[in-house]
Amino acid sequence: MTKFSVQGVPTLKDNYVWLIRAGNSPHVIVIDPGDEKPVIAAIQHQQLIPVAIIITHHHYDHVDGVEPFLKHFQVPVYGPSNELIPAVTHPLEPSDNLSIHKDFPSCQVIAVPGHTNGHLAYLFNDSLFCGDTLFSAGCGRLLGGTYSQLLTSLKYICSLPLKTKIYCAHEYTANNLKFSCIIEPDSIEIQQRSEYIDKLRAENKITLPSTLEIELATNPFLRCREPSVIRAAEQYTSQDLVNELAVFTVLRQWKDNF
């Protein structure tokens, strides 16, 4: 298994641009550079050599740094084929086996529509770069896709191994866990995680990556079949909710106004 390490570069208000570094080589893949300046600074400071940019979806906080970045480093740009991202040189469809560079493991390109219609996620070994689809203790808003699409995408992610590392694109964990606490106030796992995350944030530390195992225990959007979550959603909406999609839809709408 080709070894790599991952570094999060904070950008904009609360985004992370992920740098995947191959072993001890200086080569890095850059994911979702919404702002090029801190990324270029991190690359130059560590004398790294970018070999590619990967984009998960078309929103400005994931793509606006791409073209200015390319003025400094001419690299190929991989991104979803069905979203309008002019800088993309290698439009992607979902596939099992994308080889970007010889120093890196090949990755699985996964269609995860919902937040946007063409959103992609990238799985390198056990590390999932999922943009704004799954957040730690939350999920993306609907900005182009449907509730059904987003739930299906999240359920696919839930089928990956429990140890899968979740590299999402925003530092939302602490705020998301406040919502988790309201949905499942009796959950010890959520309370303990919330305290731990608040401590990390008080020290200005990153809360990512999460793991799928942690998310399955603390993320209400992955727990729509749990009786406690169903009950909370039904109380909120004062209706019987007949299936998982109905529960998910109520949770997502509730969180939109939270």
Q: What are the residues binding Zn ion (CB under 5 A)?
A: 59, 132
Q: How far is the CB of 147 from Zn ion (least distance, A)?
A: 16
Q: Are 86 and 121 in contact (CB under 8 A)?
A: no
CB neighbour list of residue 248: distance below 8 Å, 6 or more residues apart: 147, 150, 151, 221, 224
Q: How far is the CB of 5 from Zn ion (least distance, A)?
A: 25
Q: Are 81 and 57 in contact (CB under 8 A)?
A: no
Q: How far is CA 4 from CA 22, 226, 253, in A?
A: 4, 36, 38
Whichever of 101 and 141 has its CB closer to Zn ion, that residue is: 141
Q: How far is the CB of 62 from Zn ion (least distance, A)?
A: 6
Whichever of 132 and 215 has its CB closer to Zn ion, that residue is: 132
Whichever of 92 and 229 has its CB closer to Zn ion, that residue is: 92
Q: How far is the CB of 144 from Zn ion (least distance, A)?
A: 9
Whichever of 193 and 252 has its CB closer to Zn ion, that residue is: 252
